[in-house]
Chain A
Amino acid sequence: MEKIESAAESRKLLNKITNDLTRSIVKKDELTRFWFFILIMFVIVGLWGWIVQIKTGLGVTGMRDYVSWGMYIANFVFFVAVSLIGFLISSALHLLKIPWAKPISRVAEQVAIAFVALAGIIIVMDMGRPDRFMNIFLHGRFASPIIWDVTVITTYLAISVLLFYIPLIPDLAILRDKMSDKLPKWQLTMYKILSLGWKGSAEQYKTIYHAMRVLMILIIPVGLSIHTVTSWLFAATLRSGWDTAILGPYFVAGAFVAGTAAVIMVMYVYRLRYGLKDYFEDFHFDYMGKLLVFVCLVYLYFNVNEYLVPGYKMKEADGIHLNELFQGNYSGVFWIVQVAGLILPIFLLLFSYFRKPLPISIISFVVLIMAWLKRYIIVIPTLEHPFLPVQNVPGIFQHYSPTSIEVMITIFSFVAALIIISVLAKLFPVITIWEYASEKGIDKKYLTENDKN
């Protein structure tokens, strides 16, 4: 990157960048209000469903004795999966010094925070007695993967929040200093507190670079753990379909597919909504498309291993499970997920046309839905086929189908994640101004100078 020497030119460019990147914060229009209105309506409906569920108990769900993990857990696994993208883009690609990933890392962190937070919440919603939540910590068993999962999710959430926040500190100072006429007072006070008295001194920069680096390294093992441990919730049992050694990496690979797709969609929305064509450029989508192909290929490879090897052996109990997927009740979902969620995207995204912003966003949308369905058929079919024969119970005990309350609460969780992302976009720049500016060759000293106009 070349340095811009002239002060006037630097200031002009910086001004433009600041304006563009704070548009999401400053802009207030009907559409935004409408968007939040819709989201809040859904949230109210979902919370009402939850109240009904707490009052009447989990009997309002489709879960019974045999299938005791239903849509909520499938959703949970999906959320954990999506959140893993924060680790891939803002840490792994960063540490590999892949420059194009930089502007995307804020988006990735937003998605990570929103989805990992909701993963935690959906688990509480899956509890029959959420008032006994503290028992997890008071009476938890250290030998239980559930405790590991609770721990690792909390840790990942903490790291993601820090990793979102720390690179923002210089930007918060810019907002604090330059937006005083455009923003309400509470917001400015918040920036003031959060910017930690940022002056832009070399020492301060050094400190946050250091802190970021520590976090980026830390998030690698924690990020890998979060989804590996989630897979162990399944793999540490003896049920067919779950009892495989490959489940950890299989989940991680699947997570990258879902997360990449989610980030592409959010990027596209920001680009459109906040006029950030020059920031989320076509080539970003192009690279993200290639990344998606890559992670899809890895996931496909794992899928082949996961299904072909046991499918070849067809051990008795595994056979029942696999037949259910290949040609039984779940075959429709199974094959659609494999084709529309993996094979087709891989094929299409090989063509540069489909890596353009709009087509790839549509593909990502499909991939994301398929990723959700995939979690569903990982969780439920296994439970429908216990080893011991199912006897003397009503038919609804054996076959699971979600009830409207479950659907309501699941939609709630998605909407709540969208709210978190929207609020973060409303309060903080979706690309860090200072990083972007210095990328463009603007000296850091212009960032903190008070403009006189």
Chain B
Amino acid sequence: MNNKISYIIIAILFLSVQSFAQEWLVPGDQRNIKNPLEYNLDNVQKGKDLYLKNCKSCHGDPGKNNALPLVPPPVDITSEKMQKNTVGELFYKITNGRGGMPQFKTNISEDDRWRIVNYIMNFNPNREPVLVAAPKVKAKIMASVNEKERKVEVFAEHEVKGKYSSLGNEQITISAKKYFGNIKIGEVTTDNNGRAEFNIPESLIGDEEGNVNMVVSLGEDYIAEAVLLEEAKVGQNKKVQKLIKPGILWSTNENIQIWLLLSYIGAVGAAWAAIAYVVFQLIKVKRLGKTEH
């Protein structure tokens, strides 16, 4: 999170002194360096974790073209522009950076930079990918809140050969639903029976009554509907400052001065009572017309 913000700040700072970059030239001797690390599952997997931690905030999810809108743009790592690079060029660019692209010489070790290169190469059309996203599995979550013990109880199942069975050892995320998305509260891992208990932290803040809408969800590898636990009274009461002074003009109905309300109701009531009385007189006229001859 913090990384992300500082990168964005760096990016913006650099953008202002941004050279009108077209070609990103890499010195000849650097371009053809060989990758010292083996292109295997272990290195690619590690490269992926490093990518998610350091690069995803700008470059986005591979293949989704959801990079940050910077100028020049951080391209998707599966794109042609990225994949045109030789491994040497990738390593050089990651190491030294340019403009909005930070340098990683100091904060990522050389081996790890090469691992990231390996991960990028996993999407190269001329190579056999070693890391293939497993097909997503259907899963179900059941969850309930125990308000007294301040616990969320979860039971997860996943589909194995057309049948649901309990999903052990999997991470469950508990978040609070807010206006602009969900905020993570914490995680639990299910036991062998697919069950987990999450202890709700005392510091959680709810709405004015302390209610929290909680979302219980599984990771990206599963197709599972998140469970929404509505209005659980497990948070602290949020203190909302009353912005409207009581008794101010044009105010809300809770804030109205009693004398004003009474005057209004009194005046309107009296006027309409009088109107009703007049209408009643008309009825009387009609009745008189019928009886007399």
Chain A interface residues (CB < 8 Å from chain B): 141-145, 148, 151, 155, 158-159, 162, 166, 169, 196-199, 201, 203-204, 207-208, 210-211, 214-215, 218, 221-222, 225, 236
Contact = CB atoms under 8 A, between A and B. Distances in A.
B292 A207 contact: no
Contacts of A148: 264
B13 interface: no
B268 A207 contact: no
A208 B253 contact: no
Contact of B260 (A142, A208, A211, A221): A142
Interface of B: 248-253, 255-257, 260-261, 264, 267-268, 271-272, 274-275, 277-279, 281-282, 284-286, 288-290, 292
A218 B272 CA distance: 10
8 contacts: A141-B252, A142-B253, A143-B251, A143-B261, A155-B271, A196-B286, A199-B288, A201-B292
A214 B250 contact: no
A204 B282 CA distance: 9
Contacts of A198: 285, 289
Interface centre among B251, B252, B288, B292 (most CB of A within 10 A): B288
A201 B287 CA distance: 12
A199 B289 contact: yes
A172 to B, nearest CB: 11
B285 A142 contact: no
Given A142-B261, A155-B271, A218-B274, A210 B250 contact: no
Contacts of A143: 248-253, 255-257, 260-261
Nearest to A159: B275
A144 B292 CA distance: 50
Nearest to A232: B249
Nearest to B261: A142
A199 B264 CA distance: 40
Given A143-B250, A211-B281, A215-B278, A222 B271 contact: yes
B264 A196 contact: no
B275 A158 contact: yes
A142 B266 CA distance: 12
B247 to A, nearest CB: 8
Main SS class of interface, B: helix
Contacts of B248: 143
Given A151-B268, A196-B289, A211-B281, A145 B250 contact: yes
B274 A214 contact: yes
A221 B274 CA distance: 12
B292 to A, nearest CB: 5
Contacts of A201: 288-289, 292
Contacts of B272: 155
Contacts of B275: 155, 158-159, 162, 218
Given A203-B288, A207-B288, 6 more contacts: A141-B251, A141-B256, A143-B251, A143-B257, A155-B272, A204-B289
Contact of A214 (B255, B278, B285, B290): B278
B243 to A, nearest CB: 16
What 4 A-B pairs have minimum CB-CB distances, sorted nearest first? A197-B289, A211-B281, A196-B286, A143-B256
Contacts of B286: 196-197
B228 to A, nearest CB: 28
A159 B268 CA distance: 13
A228 to B, nearest CB: 12
Contact of A236 (B249, B255, B261, B268): B249
A275 to B, nearest CB: 32
A203 B287 CA distance: 11
B250 A203 contact: no
Nearest to B279: A162
A159 B273 CA distance: 12
A144 to B, nearest CB: 5
B290 A197 contact: yes
A151 B288 CA distance: 33
A236 B264 CA distance: 16
Contacts of A203: 288, 292
